[in-house]
Amino acid sequence: MIKISGLWLHESAKTGEKYLSGSWGRVKILIFKNKYYNDDKTQPVYIMYLDHRTTKGESS
């Protein structure tokens, strides 16, 4: 197994929703609980998003 990143637990000040965040190099990782999850297991429990971080002077 290869360690990719550590994740930190946050709570949105706006919605109170808890989520995880971390980074992998210049990629930001965000993991949210799936609002459409149901007990029949047709949806994943969590959804992961990746966002490319830009540096000063770099356009997105």
Domains contained in the chain, number = 1
pLDDT, the chain, mean: 90
pLDDT band at 56; cut points 50, 70, 90 = low
Q: Which has more pLDDT, 55 or 32?
A: 32
State the pLDDT at residue 59: 60
Question: What is the residue range of 37's domain?
Answer: 8-50
Q: Which two tokens stand for residue 8?
A: 């930190």
CA distance 60 to 54: 6
Decide if 17 is inside a domain. Answer: yes
**Residue 2, in any domain of the structure:** no
User: How far are the Cα atoms of 34, 45, 48 from residue 42, in angstroms, in the given order?
Assistant: 11, 10, 17
